[in-house]
């Protein structure tokens, strides 16, 4: 068992492969204290870290200063309104109108395996991989119960946390705030690492020193967002790619979130993570419960690469699911940047024909195939084939594409409704809007009210009808606007604060149903590029479209931030045409291919129009994908240098678990005059192995490559790339 309870000392010790997490039950009031999280310890005897023998002392020794105790005690789950003035994890308004709530340990159970969270995505765990601790606490005066759920991965340095709140009080209450995890510890000169961005420049890495002003990342957009990412790591100042301590939280949820780190008067840090409390108010009748989403927690003393590898393993092995979990994905060509809305069967078949000849394996038909949609101002919700564009419908088109030897994929934006649609004309009350207010448009569309079971059923049936009608093997599920005007014609006023969360639950239900009925489909989530790239979505789809920005150089920054926490196998990346449609930059076709290789790899261009020299490179690139994808999908990721930091070149690599092969991609962003070659110390290799460099045939000892380095010749020009592949001899 990776979880032990020491009865005498009332201590829980949770052990992963290399970390320990220790919790203590303290004093007559049964406070639950956080004692330790970090490198694995031999002993559980760390009660002294709770520092209850110094001022302000525990209440049994100094009840006159109870508030001071509450405000200094390192807790597992911070209460609200009872003297702990730091960030609370929970707030519940009872019928008395008050919202103070405490947590007092009552009981616990330790089980083998990992229970699923009803209606929510969560990391998967078996009896072999996980044990789970459930600590039940109670707020005595109200009777409200809280279950803190900890699952411990035995072979991975990951602990997941979530909370379930049960209204065992005699009457209705309103949950107005619920965070899923809390981590109190002394500050170690921490810096916070977060991912920030906007449309077309998602997930750029930012580092900020932790000081007294609170530091938080959050979204109130109804989706995890392009702007902030539901992830935060606290790193010691000396932490770098390969060493140094990092504590990270990643939220398995796709809606509003908040992760905050704050420094208190005594130099202690509190990190919390959960659903954003803004506009959140969940009504719980007597006996009802609320399950909060899961937080992934990891600690490493192996720097960023250590953290990335742990999270990649967790998501590849325990979150991503379905038939493509461990499989190479078909190389697709998507017609969005090729045609936008201006396409028909003939045009698509012309693309498919050329694509088939060059080694591409699937055609994806993007936005514009349904209703009267000829631009982005109408028809969302009318999921019927536009036979003017596609004569003979999907059956004809898909058959023809299949005859060429290609699979066929399709685009949907199921959560949306255009005011100019048959659906809206029939059901205006299905859109999210506040009665008496004109709802604000975004991309000329509204969001459907997914708190309504009738809307869920309608959307599901209309999508499923299309998917049943032809041999469709891929779906791109898009979501192109945030939520605003939060009102539902269905929810009662006292439940209106549930809308954002119910929306997310409804979307999860739709994806769950779809993948159950169509398990053969490769699902790729998307949200105006990478606006909903989060672990919640990854539970349903093995890959997510990373950004609408397909420029190879912009992608270096976006993919670096994304790969910091997500495996390369899930990062949607395509070779597109130049000048790039988003930034207007022209980069070599080969470099575009190398950047997309460290992702899912595909194309998004009009293959019938590109220059011959580019077209002739496609068979080479598709062969490169087939040759290296197993390694890229399954290997350990190492960041070696970053264009973000040096403004000059970028270098990352993947090394197979057995260290028998490695692939590094070097991109020289800016050419420089009068330079020699560059020696770079490679990472991840076995010092005792000898490796053959594929390009030169040279054999070099592993320890020479690691400590002496590899010589990268000076490349001529900007935006040049080089692939370095080595194999153990």
Chain residues binding ligand GLA by CB under 6 A are: 336, 366-367, 376, 411, 478, 480, 526, 528-529, 545, 548
Sheet bearing 575-576, strands edge to edge: 571-572, 543-545, 522-525, 474-477, 407-412, 362-365, 332-334, 602-604, 575-576
**Rounded Cα–Cα distance for residues 439 and 288 (Å):** 32
Residue 29 annotated in active site: no
8: burial class by Cβ within 10 Å (0-12, 13-18, 19+)?
A: exposed
Task: Output 302 or 550, the one with its CB closest to ligand GLA.
Answer: 550
**Rounded Cα–Cα distance for residues 285 and 176 (Å):** 14
Closest CA relative to residue 252, chosen from 215, 288, 295, 214: 295
**Rounded Cα–Cα distance for residues 72 and 54 (Å):** 11
The residue at minimum Cβ distance from ligand GLA is: 367
Task: Output 309 or 527, the one with its CB closest to ligand GLA.
Answer: 527
**Rounded Cα–Cα distance for residues 419 and 411 (Å):** 20
Q: Which of 84, 131, 478, 606 is catalytic?
A: 478
Q: What minimum distance in Å lies between the beta carbon of 565 and ligand GLA?
A: 21
Closest CA relative to residue 25, chosen from 37, 34, 17, 16: 34
Closest CA relative to residue 231, chosen from 633, 459, 536: 536
Task: Output 367 or 382, the one with its CB closest to ligand GLA.
Answer: 367
**Rounded Cα–Cα distance for residues 545 and 564 (Å):** 16
Task: Output 199 or 725, the one with its CB closest to ligand GLA.
Answer: 199
Q: Please give the C-alpha separations between residue 674 and each of 107, 362, 714, in angstroms, as whole numbers.
A: 70, 45, 9
Check: CB of residue 476 under 8 Å from CB of residue 366: yes
Q: What minimum distance in Å lies between the beta carbon of 343 and ligand GLA?
A: 12
Task: Output 226 or 683, the one with its CB closest to ligand GLA.
Answer: 226
Task: Output 65 or 376, the one with its CB closest to ligand GLA.
Answer: 376
Q: What minimum distance in Å lies between the beta carbon of 375 and ligand GLA?
A: 10
Q: What minimum distance in Å lies between the beta carbon of 555 and ligand GLA?
A: 14
As a whole number of Å, the CA-based R_g of the chain is: 27
Residue 71 annotated in active site: no
Q: What minimum distance in Å lies between the beta carbon of 629 and ligand GLA?
A: 22
Q: What minimum distance in Å lies between the beta carbon of 586 and ligand GLA?
A: 21
Q: What minimum distance in Å lies between the beta carbon of 3 and ligand GLA?
A: 42
Q: What minimum distance in Å lies between the beta carbon of 526 and ligand GLA?
A: 5
Task: Output 339 or 727, the one with its CB closest to ligand GLA.
Answer: 339
Check: CB of residue 195 under 8 Å from CB of residue 225: no
**Rounded Cα–Cα distance for residues 193 and 502 (Å):** 30
CA angle 705/706/711 to nearest 5° reads 40
Q: Please give the C-alpha separations between residue 591 and each of 602, 632, 636, 688, in angstroms, as whole numbers.
A: 14, 17, 22, 32
Going by DSSP bridges, is the β-strand pair 522-525/474-477 parallel, antiparallel, or unpaired? parallel
**Rounded Cα–Cα distance for residues 409 and 421 (Å):** 24
Q: Concatenated DSSP letters for 167-221?
A: --SSS-EEEEEEEEEEEEEE--S-EEEEEE--TTS--EEEEEE--SS-EEEEE-S
Q: Write a three-state SS string for 52-82.
A: CCCCCCCCCCCHHHHHHHHCCCCECCCCECC
Q: What minimum distance in Å lies between the beta carbon of 266 and ligand GLA?
A: 46
Q: What minimum distance in Å lies between the beta carbon of 344 and ligand GLA?
A: 17
CA angle 188/191/193 to nearest 5° reads 135
Task: Output 488 or 525, the one with its CB closest to ligand GLA.
Answer: 525
- 662 Rama sector, left if φ>0, alpha if ψ -120 to 50, beta otherwise: beta
CA 452 to chain centre: 26
Q: What minimum distance in Å lies between the beta carbon of 548 and ligand GLA?
A: 5
**Rounded Cα–Cα distance for residues 616 and 613 (Å):** 5
Q: Strand pairing partners for 31?
A: 26
List of residues 6+ apart from 301 with CB closer than 8 A: 38, 39, 243, 244, 245, 246
Q: Which of 184, 313, 317, 548 is catalytic?
A: 548
Task: Output 379 or 491, the one with its CB closest to ligand GLA.
Answer: 379
Q: What minimum distance in Å lies between the beta carbon of 501 and ligand GLA?
A: 24
Q: Strand pairing partners for 12?
A: 5, 23
User: Distance between terminal CA atoms of the chain?
Assistant: 40
Check: CB of residue 229 under 8 Å from CB of residue 192: no
**Rounded Cα–Cα distance for residues 300 and 308 (Å):** 10
Residues involved in catalysis:
478, 548
């Amino acid at each position: 068992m990776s979880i032990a309870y020491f009865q005498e000392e009332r201590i829980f010790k949770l052990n992963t492969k290399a970390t320990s997490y220790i919790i203590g039950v303290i004093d007559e009031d049964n406070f639950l204290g956080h004692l330790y999280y970090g490198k694995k310890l031999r002993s559980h005897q760390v009660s002294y870290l709770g520092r209850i023998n110094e001022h302000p002392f525990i209440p049994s020794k100094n009840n006159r200063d109870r508030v001071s105790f509450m405000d200094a005690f390192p807790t597992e789950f911070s209460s609200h309104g009872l003297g702990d003035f730091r960030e609370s994890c929970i707030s519940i308004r009872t019928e008395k109108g008050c919202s103070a709530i405490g947590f007092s340990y009552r009981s616990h159970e330790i089980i083998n395996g990992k229970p699923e969270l009803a209606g929510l995505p969560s990391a998967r765990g078996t009896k072999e991989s996980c044990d789970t601790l459930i600590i039940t606490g109670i707020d005595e005066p109200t009777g409200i119960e809280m279950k803190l759920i900890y699952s411990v991965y035995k072979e991975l340095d990951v602990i997941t946390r979530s909370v379930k709140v049960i209204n065992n009080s005699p009457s209705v209450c309103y949950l107005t705030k619920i965070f899923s995890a809390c981590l109190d510890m002394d500050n170690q000169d921490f810096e916070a690492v977060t991912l920030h961005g906007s449309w077309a420049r998602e997930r750029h890495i930012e580092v900020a020193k932790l000081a007294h002003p609170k530091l938080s990342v959050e979204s109130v957009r109804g989706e995890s967002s392009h702007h902030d990412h539901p992830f935060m790591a606290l790193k010691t100042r000396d932490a770098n790619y390969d060493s140094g301590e990092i504590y990270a939280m990643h939220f398995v949820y796709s809606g509003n979130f908040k992760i905050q780190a704050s420094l208190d008067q005594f130099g202690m840090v509190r990190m919390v993570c959960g659903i954003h409390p803004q506009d959140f108010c969940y009504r719980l009748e007597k006996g009802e419960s609320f399950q909060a989403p899961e937080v992934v927690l990891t600690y490493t003393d192996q720097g960023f690469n250590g953290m990335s590898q742990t999270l990649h393993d967790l998501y590849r092995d325990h979150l991503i699911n379905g038939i493509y979990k461990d499989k190479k994905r078909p190389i697709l060509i998507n017609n969005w940047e090729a045609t936008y809305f201006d396409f028909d069967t003939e045009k698509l078949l012309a693309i498919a024909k050329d694509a088939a000849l060059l080694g591409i394996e699937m055609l994806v038909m993007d936005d514009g195939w349904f209703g009267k949609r000829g631009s982005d101002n109408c028809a969302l919700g009318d999921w019927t084939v536009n036979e003017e564009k596609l004569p003979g419908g999907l059956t004809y088109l898909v058959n023809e594409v299949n005859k060429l030897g290609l699979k066929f994929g399709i685009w949907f934006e199921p959560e949306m409704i255009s005011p100019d649609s048959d659906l809206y004309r029939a059901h205006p009350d299905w859109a999210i809007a506040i009665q008496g207010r004109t709802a604000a448009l975004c991309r000329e569309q509204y969001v459907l009210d997914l708190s309504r079971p009738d809307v869920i059923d309608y959307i599901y049936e209309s999508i499923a009808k299309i998917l049943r009608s032809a041999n469709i093997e891929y779906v791109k599920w898009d979501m192109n606007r945030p939520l605003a005007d939060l009102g539902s014609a269905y929810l009662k006023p006292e439940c209106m604060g549930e809308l954002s969360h119910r929306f997310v639950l409804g979307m999860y239900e739709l994806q769950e149903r779809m993948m159950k009925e169509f398990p053969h489909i490769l699902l790729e989530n998307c949200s105006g590029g990478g606006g909903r790239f989060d672990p919640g979505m990854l539970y349903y789809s093995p890959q997510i479209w990373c950004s609408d920005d397909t420029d190879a150089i912009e992608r270096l920054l976006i993919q670096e931030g994304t790969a910091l926490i997500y495996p390369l196998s899930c990062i949607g990346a395509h070779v597109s045409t130049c000048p790039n449609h988003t930034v207007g930059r022209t980069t070599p076709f080969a470099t575009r291919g190398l950047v997309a290789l460290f992702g899912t790899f595909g194309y998004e261009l009009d293959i019938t129009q590109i220059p011959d020299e580019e077209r002739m490179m496609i068979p080479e690139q598709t062969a490169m994908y087939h040759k290296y994808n197993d390694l890229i999908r399954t290997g350990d990721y190492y960041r070696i240098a970053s264009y973000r930091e040096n403004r000059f070149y970028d270098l990352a690599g993947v090394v197979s678990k057995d260290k028998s092969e490695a692939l590094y991609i070097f991109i020289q962003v800016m050419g420089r005059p009068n330079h020699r070659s560059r020696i770079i110390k490679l990472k991840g290799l076995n010092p005792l192995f000898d490796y053959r460099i594929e390009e030169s045939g040279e054999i070099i000892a592993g320890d020479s490559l690691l400590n002496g380095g590899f010589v990268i010749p000076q490349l001529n020009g900007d935006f040049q790339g080089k692939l370095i592949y080595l194999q153990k001899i």
